């Protein structure tokens, strides 16, 4: 039988595994929220530890936190930042509103690690207390919200935007490579006036460029942090100047340029910045679906104007069958992102009074969407776009049997006469 220790919170005593760094409130959350098995990503936990580290330094600088305790907290946070205590963060993403359980998970792990650093025993919170010392000048309502902004902004800036740039470059490269390769245009799935394959791909490149800029602009709203606003935005229990100091420290650690929220009350009440980013990714996803559909259509057996890389067998029963697997994967991910946008929209609507308590589901869906969209676009670019080739014979064949090429004669013969010629050529005499 596993050994345990007794811990106490204001609900009473509870047993906690003796080898755990988390404490009573985390233990209760583990019992209460056995919901999905989904966890916040380690990058989110890392960024939460950065906020705790920055808060400890700001509190020490402002004279609020004993330096002996403060330096121990900083060392404990360093361990989390470098992933040494990752097994201590086991809470489900579906938990008590606002993310209190996750915040206390961080506070307890940091406190118990700090106690050990100072020579004490885990659970002896007289040495370092999760609330009084680790959570000093903070609340869940400002830290969880700010960490969501920090984590999402860094993931968008360092991963998703560069990945979209690579996709844009690859599409533009194909646009130049396929320049002059004439083919039938198509609208409504039917033949239309001629176009070049290069022109089609240049359109895809321009679309991704526009969507990338939309995402980039939306992400700028995440640079605002409400650290120091504490529970409702009044700054209660935070020393004067804390917000400025803690954000400065976050920037020093991350190398980013976050700012103090202009209005703490608005940011604590709302999660519109997160929704703006997901809305931008939803729009991007709609464009990705269109591009994936086009590639699938033009490479299909019926059209055959594009040849795509064979990345894996397409059937368990039909030997030699090849499917547009990467395009199908991209669409699935895009559908998931669009679904996440709906979830976050509903969560944003659920903000009440001084707080939006739906922060955990907002944070999870935002970060998950960034991750899978980045990975899917990267894989699609590397494993499909980079290897796509034109089938000139199919393009020429389809162009020859396309009666709509007669549209070029309309200015000289008139619309009605050309329409008669087209119908006649299709064997549709009146």
Helix (H) or strand (E) holding 306, with range, is strand 306-307
Single out the catalytic residue among 188, 301, 316, 412.
Answer: 188
How confident is the model at residue 97, as a pLDDT? 85
Cα end-to-end distance, the chain, whole Å: 89
Instruction: Label residue 157 by pLDDT band (50, 70, 90).
Output: very high
pLDDT at 429 > cutoff 50? no
Going by their DSSP bridges, the two strands 259-260 and 224-225 should be labelled as parallel
Predicted TM-score of the model (pTM): 0.95
Indicate which residue of 18, 36, 300, 315 is catalytic.
315
Residue 430: pLDDT band with limits 50, 70, 90: very low
Helix (H) or strand (E) holding 417: helix 415-425
188 is catalytic: yes
Structural domains in the chain, CATH included, are 4-8+17-136 (1.10.275.10), 142-223+264-390 (1.20.200.10), 394-425 (no CATH)
What would you report as the CA-atom Rg of the chain, rounded to the nearest whole angstrom? 28
Span 195-247, pLDDT tens digits? 999 999 999 999 999 999 999 999 999 999 999 999 999 999 999 999 999 99
Q: What is the pLDDT of residue 175?
A: 98
Does 315 participate in catalysis according to the annotation? Answer: yes
State pLDDT tens for residues 32-50: 999 999 999 999 999 999 9
pLDDT of residue 425: 80
């Amino acid at each position: 039988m596993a050994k345990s220790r007794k811990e106490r919170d204001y609900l009473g005593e509870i047993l906690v595994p003796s080898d755990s760094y988390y404490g009573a409130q985390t233990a209760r959350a583990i019992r209460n929220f056995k919901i999905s098995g989904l966890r916040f990503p380690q990058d989110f936990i890392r960024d939460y530890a950065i906020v705790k580290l920055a808060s400890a330094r700001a509190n020490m600088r402002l004279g609020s936190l004993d330096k002996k305790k403060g330096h121990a907290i900083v060392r404990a946070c360093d361990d989390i930042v470098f992933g040494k205590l990752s097994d201590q963060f086991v809470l489900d993403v579906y938990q008590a509103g606002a993310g209190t359980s996750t915040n206390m998970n961080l506070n307890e792990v940091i406190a118990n690690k700090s106690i050990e650093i100072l020579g004490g025993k885990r659970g002896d919170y007289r040495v370092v207390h999760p609330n009084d010392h680790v959570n000093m000048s903070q609340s869940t309502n400002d830290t969880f919200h700010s960490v969501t902004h920090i984590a999402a902004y860094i993931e968008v800036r360092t991963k998703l935007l560069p990945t979209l740039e690579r996709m844009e470059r690859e599409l533009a490269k194909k646009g130049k490579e396929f320049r002059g390769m004439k083919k039938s245009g198509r609208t409504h799935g039917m033949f239309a006036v001629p176009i070049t394959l290069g022109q089609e791909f240049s359109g895809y490149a321009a679309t991704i460029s526009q969507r990338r800029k939309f995402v980039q602009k939306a992400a700028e709203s995440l640079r605002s942090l409400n650290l120091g606003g504490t529970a409702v935005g009044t700054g209660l229990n935070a020393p004067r100047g804390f917000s400025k100091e803690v954000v400065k420290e976050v920037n020093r650690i991350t190398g980013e340029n976050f700012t103090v929220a202009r209005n703490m009350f608005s940011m604590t009440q709302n999660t519109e910045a997160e929704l703006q980013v997901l809305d931008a990714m939803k729009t991007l996803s709609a464009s990705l679906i269109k591009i994936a559909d086009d590639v699938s259509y033009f490479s299909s057996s019926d059209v055959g104007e594009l040849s795509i890389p064979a990345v894996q067998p397409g059937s368990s029963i039909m030997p030699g069958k090849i499917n547009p697997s990467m395009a199908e994967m991209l669409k699935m991910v895009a559908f998931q992102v669009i679904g996440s946008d709906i979830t976050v929209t509903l969560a944003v609507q659920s903000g009440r009074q001084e707080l939006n308590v739906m922060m955990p589901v907002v944070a999870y869906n935002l970060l998950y969407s960034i991750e899978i969209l980045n990975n899917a676009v990267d894989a699609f670019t590397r494993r499909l776009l980079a290897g796509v080739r034109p089938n000139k014979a199919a393009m020429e064949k389809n162009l020859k049997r396309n009666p709509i090429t007669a549209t070029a004669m309309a200015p000289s013969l008139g619309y009605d006469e050309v329409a008669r010629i087209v119908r006649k050529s299709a064997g549709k005499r009146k």
